[in-house]
Amino acid sequence: MAVKILELIGSSDKSWEDAVQEALREAGKTVRNIVGVDVLGFKAEVKNGKIARYKANVKIAFTVER
């Protein structure tokens, strides 16, 4: 079995967890056989002293069909 890795940035106005879920949802639209996600880091956009957008940098692993 071969595994490939796709690196994405997910974003959300709710939370970092939701940003990770968003990256996973978007990847799932075009990638099959997702088997794992590795969260590399979190960032945020700040406006008026508050977090306006949460961002999560993730790697998504999926198996390659032969």
pTM of the predicted structure, to 2 decimals: 0.89
Contact status, residue 37 vs residue 59, Cβ threshold 8 Å:
yes
pLDDT tens-digit readout, 33-61: 999 999 999 999 999 999 999 999 999 99
Query: Would you give the end-to-end CA distance of the chain in angstroms?
Result: 9
Report d(CA 66, CA 15) in Å as an integer: 37
pLDDT tens-digit readout, 2-45: 999 999 999 999 999 999 999 999 999 999 999 999 999 999 99
Residue 31 is part of a domain; what is its CATH number? 3.30.1660.10
Number of domains in the chain: 1
Domain assignment of residue 21, given as a range: 2-64
